[in-house]
């Protein structure tokens, strides 16, 4: 095939300039590297499954069937007759599991953008759940829309207050947020068990420490009714992610948060209040974590119990990293975690390998994502100059 005639130099420059400006190369990389990391982790995971006496093919069939497909879709091992490649019950299960991961992941990602490391999601989430459940079961006779709004608002507010404490301490005393948030996690955890086995305990729950069920009016409605329920919280999660991205990219506050995160000295020089921004960032992050707890209470559990959080606070850090701290990037990362968790029952059913293997695979994903140099080296992905993206002028948000 004859080569196309060369363009005149001027037009060529304009075209190259245009291509540089398109975000695709940067975006392509930021998707490609995590994707390769996931694939590598699954491959290494397969070897570990083999070593531990399982059959990796069956294991991943189970993972697929449990998170997306119908039982027996690939493995052919089905007690029920439906064996479609996509099964509503599996998908909604993954989505429900992923919902708190998305919002809690945002709580970490947002703080990252502001240059803060929020390890306090666990505590903020518990604080939010406590407030939500209290509003949920103490009030009754309210119209559903009002009751749900109040319950969610209470959770978000409690999380925000709990997140603002380390934020304010950092802003005005310089106390490091990592240490303060870790300590506050213990406070929230112990406080939760104290309250739930004491004044907030349901007298009818017997030996199990949990609160009473929340009022039916305070429960999130299903957006996908029927046997494969999916509550409204999943929609909230996606909207929150997009909203947060918009706030970060298109508003003055978002610009301030990012600037303080990138360089607090420059931010101060530009006339921004670093202390106020730091406190605000942590309050928003805490509010998001509180919302994650509030949605789990109103959408899934309908009560609060000390075993409520299965490490959301710590998985959320992983998810934020996997999503490259991008609000929208958190969604696929959370979906991956949701699928790994959601598929683990079926995976174990088919292979009878220890359920820990799933956690090992999660850890491997993180390892490869957190160290992109390994993946780049393994697959010889060349790092493109980052400047291309950075060159883009910031939106008009000069203060």
Phi-psi region of 271 (alpha: psi -120 to 50; beta: other; left: phi over 0): left
Measured between alpha carbons, how far is 300 from 291 in angstroms, rounded to an integer? 13
26 lies in the site for another protein, by CB under 8 A: no
Candidate segments 191-199, 243-251, 261-269, 360-368, binder of another protein by CB under 8 A? 191-199
Here the tokens at position 212 are: 């009473």
Query: Which residue of 86, 223, 379, 386 would you call a contact of another protein, by CB under 8 A?
Result: 379
Does 52 sit near another protein (CB under 8 A)? no
Q: What is the CA radius of gyration of the chain?
A: 23
Tell me how far, at minimum, the Cβ of 207 lies from another protein, in Å.
Answer: 5
The CA distance from 153 to 131, in Å, is: 9
Q: How far is the CB of 185 from another protein (least distance, A)?
A: 16
Q: Is 368 left (phi over 0), alpha (psi -120 to 50) or beta?
A: alpha
CA atoms within 13 A on the CB side of 227: 4
Judged by CB under 8 A, the chain residues 29 through 48 that form the site for another protein are 32, 43, 46-47
* Binding string, residues 111-150; x marks residues near another protein by CB under 8 A: ----------------------------------------
Nearest to 333, CA basis, from 342, 346, 320, 344: 320
Nearest approach, Cβ of 120 to another protein (angstroms)? 21
The only residue of 107, 131, 196, 317 in contact with another protein, by rule CB under 8 A:
196
With beta carbons less than 8 A apart as the criterion, state whether 104 and 278 touch: no
Q: Which residues of 158-182 are buried (b: 16+ CB within 10 A; e: fewer)?
A: bbbbbbbbbbbbbbeeeeebeebbb
Residue 208 sits in the site that holds another protein (CB under 8 A): yes
At its nearest, how many Å lie between another protein and the CB of residue 200?
12
Which of 1, 3, 199, 207 touches another protein (CB under 8 A)? 207
Identify which of residues 164 and 318 has a Cβ nearer to another protein in the complex: 318
- Provide the sign of the torsion angle of the four alpha carbons 290, 310, 320, 231, taken in this order: negative
Query: Among 226, 243, 307, 395, which residue interacts with another protein (rule: CB under 8 A)?
Result: 307
Of positions 209, 248, 291, 321, contacts another protein by CB under 8 A: 209
Choose, by CB under 8 A, the member of 144, 300, 367, 397 that binds another protein.
300
In this chain, which of 14, 22, 355, 363 binds another protein, going by CB under 8 A? 355
Partners of residue 222 on adjacent β-strands: 231
Alpha carbon 314 to chain centroid, angstroms: 10
User: What is the binding site for another protein (CB under 8 A)?
Assistant: 32, 43, 46-47, 50, 54-58, 71, 77-80, 93, 193-194, 196-198, 207-209, 300-301, 305-307, 310, 341, 344-346, 348-349, 352, 354-356, 378-381
């Amino acid at each position: 095939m004859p080569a196309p005639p060369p363009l005149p130099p001027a037009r060529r420059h304009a075209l190259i300039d245009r291509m540089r400006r398109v975000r695709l190369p940067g975006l392509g990389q930021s998707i490609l590297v995590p994707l390769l990391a996931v694939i590598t982790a699954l491959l290494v995971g397969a070897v570990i499954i083999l070593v531990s006496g399982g059959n990796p093919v069956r294991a991943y069939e189970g993972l697929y069937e449990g998170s997306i497909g119908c039982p027996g879709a690939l493995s052919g091992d089905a007690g029920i007759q439906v064996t479609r490649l996509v099964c509503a019950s599996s998908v909604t299960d993954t989505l429900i599991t992923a919902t708190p991961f998305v919002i809690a992941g945002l709580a970490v990602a947002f703080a990252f953008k502001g240059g803060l490391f929020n390890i306090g999601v666990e505590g903020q989430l518990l604080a939010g759940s406590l407030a939500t459940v209290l509003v949920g079961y103490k009030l009754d006779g309210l119209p559903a829309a009002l009751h749900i709004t109040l319950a969610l608002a209470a959770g978000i507010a409690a999380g925000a207050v709990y997140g603002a404490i380390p934020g304010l301490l950092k802003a005005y005393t310089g106390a490091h947020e990592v240490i303060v948030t870790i300590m506050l996690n213990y406070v929230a955890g112990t406080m939760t068990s104290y309250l739930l086995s004491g004044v907030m305990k349901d007298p009818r729950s017997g030996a199990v420490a949990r609160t009473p069920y929340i009022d039916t009016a305070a429960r999130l409605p299903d957006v996908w009714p029927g046997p494969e329920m999916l509550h409204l919280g999943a929609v909230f999660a996606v909207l929150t992610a997009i909203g947060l991205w918009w706030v970060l990219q298109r508003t003055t506050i978002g610009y301030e948060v990012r600037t303080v995160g990138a360089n607090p000295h420059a931010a101060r020089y530009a006339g921004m209040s670093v202390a106020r921004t730091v406190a605000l960032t942590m309050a928003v992050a805490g509010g998001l974590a509180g919302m994650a707890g509030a949605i789990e209470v109103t959408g899934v559990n309908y009560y609060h119990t000390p075993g409520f959080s299965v490490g959301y606070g710590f998985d959320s850090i992983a998810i934020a990293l996997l999503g490259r701290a991008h609000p929208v990037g958190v969604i696929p990362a959370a979906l991956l975690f949701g699928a790994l968790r959601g598929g683990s029952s079926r995976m174990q059913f088919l292979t009878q390998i220890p359920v820990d293997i799933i956690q090992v695979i999660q850890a491997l994903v993180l390892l490869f994502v957190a160290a992109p140099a390994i993946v780049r080296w393994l697959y010889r992905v060349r790092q493109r100059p980052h400047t291309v993206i950075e060159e883009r002028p910031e939106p008009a948000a000069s203060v």
